[in-house]
Amino acid sequence: MSDMTCKLLIIGAGPGGYICGIRAGQLGIDAIVVDEQKPGGTCLNVGCIPSKAMIHAAEEFHKLTHYNGTSPLGITAASPAIDLSATVDWKDGIVSRLNAGVAGLLKKSGTRLISGRATFQDGKTVKVTTGDTSITIRAEQVVIATGSAPAELPFLPFGGKVIGSSEALALRSVPEKLVVVGGGYIGLEIGTAYAKLGSRVTVVEAAERILPQYDSALTRPVLKSLQGLGMEVHLATKAKGLGDKGLLVEAPDGAEREIAADKVLVTVGRRPRSDSANITSLGLATNGAFLRVDDRCRTSMQGVYAIGDVTGEPMLAHRAMAQGEMVAEIVAGHPRSWDKRCIPAVCFTDPEIVTCGLSPEEAKAQGAPVTTGQFPFSANGRAMTMEAEDGFVRVVARKEDGLILGLQAVGQGVSELSAAFAIAIEMGARADDIGAVIHAHPTQSEGLQEACLAALGHALHI
Ligand code: FAD
Ligand code: NAD
Q: Mean pLDDT over residues 86-101, rounded?
A: 98
Above pLDDT 90, what percent of the chain?
A: 96
pLDDT bucket at 15, cuts 50 / 70 / 90 = very high
Higher pLDDT, 77 or 293: 293
Q: What is the pLDDT of residue 126?
A: 98
Rounded CA gap, 380 and 461, in Å?
A: 8
* Model confidence at 184: pLDDT above 90: yes
Q: Is the CB of 56 under 6 A from ligand 1?
A: no
Ligand 2 pocket, 212 CB below 6 A?
A: yes
Phi, psi of 116 (to 5 degrees): 160, 170
Residue 333, Ramachandran bin (φ over 0: left; ψ between -120 and 50: alpha; else beta): left
Query: Does residue 417 line the site of ligand 2, with CB under 6 A?
Result: no
CA 191 to chain CA centroid, Å, is: 15
Confidence of residue 76 (pLDDT cuts 50, 70, 90): confident
User: Exposed, middle or buried: residue 94 (CB in 10 Å: 0-12, 13-18, 19+)?
Assistant: middle
> Please, which pLDDT band fits residue 1 given cuts at 50, 70 and 90?
low
Ligand 2 lined by 164 (C-beta under 6 Å)? no
Q: For residues 85-102, give the mean pLDDT.
A: 98
- Mean pLDDT of all residues in 400-424: 98
- Count CA atoms closer than 13 A to 194's CA, side-chain side: 30
Mean pLDDT of 399-406: 98
Give the pLDDT confidence of 95-137 residue by residue, as tens digits.
Answer: 999 999 999 999 999 999 999 999 999 999 999 999 999 999 9
Q: Do the Cβ atoms of 292 and 299 come closer than 8 Å?
A: yes
Question: Which of the four pLDDT bands, split at 50, 70 and 90, describes residue 340?
Answer: very high
Cis ω before 175 (30° cut-off from 0): no
| 3-class DSSP assignment, residue 3 | coil
Q: Which of 56, 234, 334, 441 is catalytic?
A: 441
Give yes or no for residue 183 having a pLDDT over 60. yes
DSSP notation for 39-101: TTHHHHHHSHHHHHHHHHHHHHHHHHHHHHS--TT----------HHHHHHHHHHHHHHHHHH
The answer for residues whose C-beta is within 8 angstroms of residue 23's C-beta and 6 or more apart is 109, 324, 325, 328, 329
- Helical axes 216-228 vs 185-197, angle rounded to 10°: 20
End-to-end CA distance of the chain: 69
Nearest to 317 by CA among 139, 152, 185, 122: 185
pLDDT at position 69 is 66
Query: Which of 270, 310, 319, 352 to mutate for ligand 2's pocket (most ligand atoms within 8 Å of CB)?
Result: 270
Give the model's confidence band at 245: pLDDT under 50 very low, under 70 low, under 90 confident, else very high.
Answer: very high
Q: Is the pLDDT of residue 219 over 60?
A: yes
Is residue 191 in contact with ligand 1, taking CB distance under 6 Å? Answer: no
**CA of residue 328 to ligand 2 center, whole Å:** 30
Which amino acid does the sequence have at 262?
A: D
Binned at pLDDT 50, 70 and 90, residue 241 comes out as very high
CB 436 within 8 A of CB 450: no
CA distance 289 to 14: 19
Distances (CA, A) of 10 to 240, 311, 444: 40, 15, 41
> Which among 34, 378, 145 is positioned nearest to 393, based on CA atoms?
378
Query: How much helix, strand and coil, in percent to the nearest 5, is found in the chain?
Result: 35, 25, 35
Which one is predicted more confidently, 69 or 77? Answer: 77
* 201 CB neighbour count, 10 Å cutoff: 28
The residue nearest atom 45 of ligand 1, judged by CA position, is 316
**pLDDT value for 438:** 98
Q: Are 205 and 86 in contact (CB under 8 A)?
A: no
Residue 376 phi, psi (nearest 5)? -85, 145
Q: Is 208 in the pocket of ligand 2 (CB under 6 A)?
A: no
Closest ligand by atom to 148 CA: 1
For residues 277 and 146, is the Cβ–Cβ distance under 8 A? yes
Residues in CB range of 215: below 8 A, 6 or more apart? 359, 360, 361
Could you tell me the pLDDT band of residue 71, with boundaries at 50, 70 and 90? confident
Average pLDDT over residues 176-184: 98
pLDDT attached to residue 170: 98
Kindly report the average pLDDT of the chain as a whole number. 97
* Whole-number pLDDT of residue 368: 85
- 270 C-alpha vs ligand 1 centroid, how far in Å? 10
**Ligand 1, pocket-test mutation among 113, 146, 267, 418, most atoms within 8 A of CB:** 146
Residues counted in the chain = 462
Res 455 pLDDT > 90 = yes
Whole-number Å distance between alpha carbons of 14 and 5 = 22
Looking at residue 88, its pLDDT comes to 98
DSSP strand pairing (352-357 vs 404-411): antiparallel
Q: What pTM value is reported for the model?
A: 0.97
Q: Cβ contacts of residue 433 below 8 Å, gap of 6+?
A: 424
Does residue 30 register a pLDDT over 90? Answer: yes
The secondary structure of residue 440, as a DSSP letter, is P
Mean pLDDT of 158-164: 97
For ligand 1, whether the C-beta of 248 sits within 6 Å is no
Mutate to test the pocket of ligand 1, among 43, 102, 297 (most ligand atoms within 8 A of CB): 43
CB 12 within 8 A of CB 35: yes
Q: Whose CA is nearest to atom 43 of ligand 1?
A: 43
Which tops the pLDDT comparison, 1 or 204?
204
Residue 79 confidence (pLDDT) above 90: no
- Examine the pLDDT at 247 and tell me if it is beyond 80: yes
Rounded to the nearest angstrom, the distance between the alpha carbon of 15 and the centre of ligand 1 is 7
Q: Is 441 marked active-site?
A: yes
The string of pLDDT tens digits covering residues 261-299 is 999 999 999 999 999 999 999 999 999 999 999 999 999
Q: Is 272 in the pocket of ligand 1 (CB under 6 A)?
A: no
| Ligand 2: centre distance to CA 63 (Å) | 27
Angle of the 15-26 helix axis to the 317-331 helix axis, nearest 10: 30
Tell me if 444 sits within 8 A of 376, measured CB to CB. Answer: no
pLDDT of the residue at 72: 86
pLDDT at 233: 98
Average pLDDT over residues 57-84: 88
Of all helices (H) and strands (E), which one includes residue 120?
Answer: strand 117-122
Domains and CATH numbers, the chain: 4-150+271-331 (3.50.50.60), 162-268 (3.50.50.60), 345-456 (3.30.390.30)
Q: Residue 298: how many CB atoms within 10 A of its CB?
A: 16
- Coil, strand or helix: which one is 177? strand
3-class secondary-structure state, position 203: strand
